[in-house]
Amino acid sequence: MTTSFTTGAAGSSPSSPGPRPRSSRTSPSATARPRRGRSARKSRRPPHTPLNPRPSIPLTLVTGVVVLYTLAPLLWLVVNATKSQRGLFDSFGLWFADDFNLWDNVTRTLTYDDGVFVRWFLNTLLYVTLGAGGATVLAVLGGYALAKYEFPGRRAVFAVVIGAVAVPGTALAVPTFLMFSNMGLTNTPWAVIIPSLISPFGLYLMWVFASEAVPAGLLEAARIDGSSELRTFFTIALPLLMPGTVTVLLFSMVATWNNYFLPLIMIKDPDWYPLTLGLNAWNAQAQTAGGQAVFDLIITGSLLTIVPIVAAFLLLQRYWQSGLAAGSVKE
Amino acid sequence: MTLLSTSAQAVRPPRSRRRRPLGRYGLTGWGFVGPFVAVFALVFLAPIGYAAYLSLFRDRMIGGRSFVGMDNYQQAVTDPQFWEGLGRVGLFLAVQVPIMLGIALLVALAIDSGRLYGRSFFRVAVFLPYAVPAVVASLMWGFIYGTQFGLVGNLNDTFGLSLPDPLSPSLVLASIGNIVTWEFVGYNMLIFYSALKVVPRSLYEAAAIDGAGEWRIISSIKLPAIRSALVIATIFSVIGSFQLFNEPSILQKLAPNAITNDFTPNLYTYSLSFAGQQHNYAATVAIVMGVITAIIAYAVQLRGMRKG
């Protein structure tokens, strides 16, 4: 059954309202450019129902203002990373200077002070790999256990963990620092990595996710077949838990990559700084009398700091959705 | 402990449908959750206990550590520096949180309405700042605020204006509010949007057939449906406001006159402990702050869960 589509190139609202045979919806789209989303579908209803809205230019413009607000500072950062110190002071902030200094700036950022920026970058990678990776492992194991095993104290574990979230993390910082310094852990990578291992939000997310993604029947079947609990977890549960795992990993990665307060307290030795602390130190140096002002390096370094995390973010962005949805569905 | 159990109710985990008898798998369950609990005890529970212990003592140059009972607490609740900081974050919370959540909600509703061109672009673009570290966000905005080579300076030079200095003592709190809004508006938007996505579309259809318009559907169906997401986002934002530290701490270098060492309770705790070596008193202020935060978060939750 063929129906002639009259959808314009812009895929705007249908021009012929009125009932259509149901089967006309089987073809996804007969327009020259297949479009995703509901706007492509031919509606059988008048165009003004909430289910089949017409894209609205005013609403798009209003929401566009918010997007301008979120993107403009990042644009400022990109533009100003191409300027020399002099260009920073001489040219307009949202447009390029006469000279294009980006590559020079990047080179100088990476080599300044014997390449300390590279060292900070590697430190950050270390903290993110061990901290966020470990946090994900603990959250997946814990969430799976809370969802799929009845054990004494299960509810208590959950109540305490959720309750602890209400305790301001920064309020714990001072006593944690004193404890760690008594243990001799301060000024070592462990002081940053160990606290990063706990993600209460991640645990909750995995609990919700595991409850829905791993059917109890599968686990029973594996037990009847004589599979050990660990083997069942690795061969059956883990593949099913993958989407949730990636979500938790993303959140932990952003949290550890962006961490500032924890390393600020724990680490005094610049050799163990993560990027965030390093940039802060450069800024402090630029603001002190007699210190070398390295504004161009701070701006370029800031850009280099966000490039990897933004790239990871854009590549894996569909996983954010599933994670936050899992967290918000349950009443 | 009532707080703990009720916050657990706010985000209740799904009950597993079949309750298996205890015994055979009890140990296995602990085996899986054990590593998390062990590290959690080390980095959450132990510091809380240690802070409570520290708050009851005082270290003196002469005589060492001595038990002082509630003296530190008495000092904290009558400490004008602490109350000033608390007043500042209270004001910050009252203004910034509604603005941020309001924008987040509007964008979420706009994207969910299906009336935008380029929906997924909007979703990603608004969420993007969440990936930017607080240090970078504060430095970036701090430079933009700057009158030297920032945008404010540019605008003044280009148009001969004399815009007020965003980093002056009277405006710096609002400037910090703008940075925090920029960082987290997308995160909250995504929480709301995710909650909206799971509302059954058939409800809208039924409402439309009954003659409800767009606004009526939003106020009578969408907002009640995402109530718990609104409450959770509010609680997170309240806790975040009370913990305000990163942004003022970084901007301090750019605006040393505007941001003092007791600007927020957390900055105050930090400078007491690391500049003044008053660890006991710092631990006390942190505990008082934690209790106040917990009470306010709990109040928000009670208010939010009340029907009607």
A54 lies within 8 A of chain B by CB: yes
Q: What is the pTM of this model?
A: 0.82
The predicted-structure confidence for A235-281, as pLDDT tens digits, reads as follows 999 988 988 898 899 889 888 988 898 899 999 999 999 999 999 99
CA distance A133 to chain B (A): 13
Which residue is closest to B46 within chain A, CA to CA?
A176
| pLDDT for the residue numbered B228 | 85
The predicted-structure confidence for A218-244, as pLDDT tens digits, reads as follows 888 998 998 888 899 999 999 889 888
Decide if A174 and B269 are in contact by the 8 Å CB cutoff. Answer: yes
Closest CA to A319 of A253, A252, A251: A251
Eight-class DSSP state of B17: S
Decide if A276 and B134 are in contact by the 8 Å CB cutoff. Answer: yes
pLDDT means per 10 residues, chain B with 308 residues, are 41 50 67 92 90 87 77 90 93 96 94 84 89 91 79 73 78 93 93 87 89 88 89 88 91 86 90 85 89 86 72
Q: How many angstroms separate the CA atoms of A241 and B107, rounded? A: 31
CA distance B77 to chain A (A): 16
Q: Which residues of A touch B292 (CB under 8 A)?
A: none
Closest CA to A279 of B1, B246, B65: B246
CA distance B213 to chain A (A): 8
| pLDDT for the residue numbered A121 | 93
| pLDDT for the residue numbered B17 | 47
Average per-residue pLDDT for chain A: 78
The radius of gyration computed from the CA coordinates of chain B, to the nearest angstrom, equals: 24
The predicted-structure confidence for A61-94, as pLDDT tens digits, reads as follows 889 999 999 999 999 888 888 877 766 766 666 6
Q: Which residues of B touch A147 (CB under 8 A)?
A: 13-14, 16
Please say whether the beta carbons of B82 and B291 come within 8 A: no
A1 lies within 8 A of chain B by CB: no
Q: Which residues contact A183 (CB under 8 A, 6 or more apart)?
A: none
Closest CA to A197 of A269, A299, A129, A119: A129
Best to test chain A binding among B36, B232, B268 (most A CBs inside 10 Å): B36
| pLDDT for the residue numbered A16 | 38
Q: How many angstroms separate the CA atoms of A87 and A99, rounded? A: 8
CB atoms under 10 Å from CB of B21, counted, come to 8
Among the partner-chain residues B154, B182, B279, the one whose CB lies closest to the CB of A92 is B154
A209 lies within 8 A of chain B by CB: no
The better pLDDT of the pair A40, A325 is held by A325
Q: How many angstroms separate the CA atoms of A298 and B41, rounded? A: 38
User: What b/e string do you get for B283-297 counting C-beta neighbours within 10 Å, with b at 16 or more?
Assistant: bbbbbbbbebbbebb
Please say whether the beta carbons of B255 and B172 come within 8 A: yes
Please state the three-class secondary structure of A100-145 as a single string: CCHHHHHHHHHHHHHHHHHHHHHHHHHHHHHHHHHHHHHHHHHHHH
Q: Which residues contact A68 (CB under 8 A, 6 or more apart)?
A: none
Q: Which residues of A touch B17 (CB under 8 A)?
A: 216
| pLDDT for the residue numbered A64 | 92
Which residue is closest to B200 within chain A, CA to CA?
A51
CA distance B44 to chain A (A): 7
Decide if A170 and B279 are in contact by the 8 Å CB cutoff. Answer: no
Token code pair at residue A158 = 């959950």
- Burial of B238: CB neighbours in 10 Å, binned 0-12, 13-18, 19+: buried
Give the helix, strand, coil percentages of chain A, each rounded to 5: 70, 0, 30
| Residue A170: pLDDT band with limits 50, 70, 90 | low
Decide if A150 and B19 are in contact by the 8 Å CB cutoff. Answer: yes
Best to test chain A binding among B30, B44, B111 (most A CBs inside 10 Å): B44
Closest CA to B32 of A164, A316, A214: A214
Decide if A66 and B245 are in contact by the 8 Å CB cutoff. Answer: no
Q: What sign does the CA torsion over B295, B298, B304, B308 have?
A: negative
> Per DSSP, which regions of chain B are E strands?
57-60, 64-67
- A 297-326 near B (Cβ less than 8 A): 298-299, 302, 305-306, 309-310, 313-314, 317, 320-321, 324-325
> What value does the mean pLDDT take over residues A206-219?
88
Which residue is closest to A262 within chain B, CA to CA?
B246
| ∠ Cα B182 A275 A86 (to 5°) | 75
Backbone phi and psi for residue B60, each to the nearest 5 degrees, phi listed first: -120, 155
CA distance B95 to chain A (A): 18
Token code pair at residue A6 = 């009259």
| pLDDT for the residue numbered A114 | 82
Decide if A77 and B186 are in contact by the 8 Å CB cutoff. Answer: no
Token code pair at residue B114 = 């299906």
Among the partner-chain residues A93, A194, A317, the one whose CB lies closest to the CB of B150 is A93
The better pLDDT of the pair A146, B168 is held by A146
Decide if A166 and B294 are in contact by the 8 Å CB cutoff. Answer: yes
Which DSSP string corresponds to A4-23?
-----TT--S-S--S---GG
CB atoms under 10 Å from CB of A125, counted, come to 14
CA distance B260 to chain A (A): 16
Q: Which residues contact A181 (CB under 8 A, 6 or more apart)?
A: none
